[in-house]
Amino acid sequence: MLKDRHLYHPGAQVTVHLLDDTTTEGRLLYHQEHYDVAFFKVAVDRRVRLTSFADTVNIGQKALRLGREENLNLRITHGKVKLDEAELGERHHHNMYFYPDEKYEEEETEERQRKWRGKGVYIPRCEDDGEPVIDFDGKVVGIINCSESGSFVPSSILNNCMYLWRNFGCIPRPHLGLQCEALKFLDPIHAEYIWRKLNIDDGLVVKEVSIGSQAEKVGIRVGDIIECIDGERISTTIELENKLLSICMGTFDRGNDINAKVDVSVRVFHTANHVWRTKQLTVNLSDRREVVEGGITLCFFQPSHI
């Protein structure tokens, strides 16, 4: 993953810096816009140690963010994994956060200042998109895709992306036309209100419905609560993304391609009339970024809408 979008043109050439201070050329093979994941081909004349990815990453888990200084010296930042979907916004709603440990941040800054004291201008730490976040077993739990906020694509999504790329050469997902937020991550006052009035404490709250989408046509509205996708309970947007990718895998396994339409079953609670319904959506597959353009955005807290 890279910050410079122009590098994502098909066949784009990049310069790759190796650890022995040499460089080689890399070529873009594929870019998945929605997750901002890119695959590059790099030719090297030595054995390469393959990266191991963790199956899951947990909220509150201690982790390390790895990076390289301009001189290629390794940089390690201690921190924890957090998830606040309200802070991520539409662009990164399927991501998690890496929060640096303040103690290590202060110690590292002091060490860098001490090292450079008397040797010229102090060089601040350089952070980039694409840096790995690893656990204490050395497995990658995510890849940073917004260095300013520390948001990263979790390993569960990356594993599914790599499976689709290796087996089918592309990474599509069904476009539901919905933007959601996990009920469990709402502010406590709003979450308690929903539980008290509706007896629901799990699922996804619909924040936006794309105008003209299948979801809108079948009656899903802002403020409704999604319980299941294709019979599987969904509690977070990350679980939703992994479910959508698994639907693509099943579609391809049945011999279909990226141009196929898929049927997705959505069990939803309509807050306007307090009824559960199962809706069938027939939607397109696409590896482009999904932009949900709704006419109304739900602003929490709004109990009168429930």
Q: Report the predicted TM-score, pTM, of the whole model to 2 decimal places.
A: 0.84
pLDDT at 101: 87
User: Is the bond preceding 98 in cis, omega lying within 30 degrees of 0?
Assistant: no
Task: Report the pLDDT value the prediction gives residue 113, as an integer from 0 to 100.
Answer: 60
pLDDT at 97 (0 to 100): 85
Q: What is the pLDDT of residue 93?
A: 62
Output the tens digit of pLDDT for each of the chain's 306 residues: 444 454 566 667 788 888 888 899 999 999 999 998 899 999 888 888 888 999 999 989 999 999 988 778 888 999 999 876 555 455 556 788 898 887 766 666 666 566 555 555 444 455 567 899 999 999 999 999 876 778 899 999 999 999 999 999 999 999 999 999 999 999 999 999 999 999 999 999 999 999 999 999 999 999 999 999 999 999 999 999 999 999 999 999 999 999 999 999 999 999 999 999 999 999 999 999 998 887 554 444 454 445
| Distance from the first to the final alpha carbon of the chain | 40
Which residue in the block uniquely carries the two structure tokens 């809408």?
305
pLDDT in the model for residue 126 = 52
pLDDT of residue 122: 46
Q: Which domains does the chain have, with CATH numbers?
A: 5-42 (no CATH), 62-167 (no CATH), 170-305 (2.30.42.10)
Strands (E), the chain: 13-17, 23-32, 37-42, 62-68, 74-82, 96-100, 132-134, 140-146, 151-154, 173-174, 178-182, 204-209, 225-229, 232-233, 261-270, 275-286
pLDDT of residue 3: 46
pLDDT of residue 2: 46
Question: Cα–Cα distance between 204 and 201 in angstroms, integer?
Answer: 10
What DSSP string runs through 249-291? Answer: HHHHHTT--TT-EEEEEEEEEETTTTEEEEEEEEEEEESSPP-
Contacts of 84 (CB under 8 A, 6+ apart): 97, 185
pLDDT at 20: 83
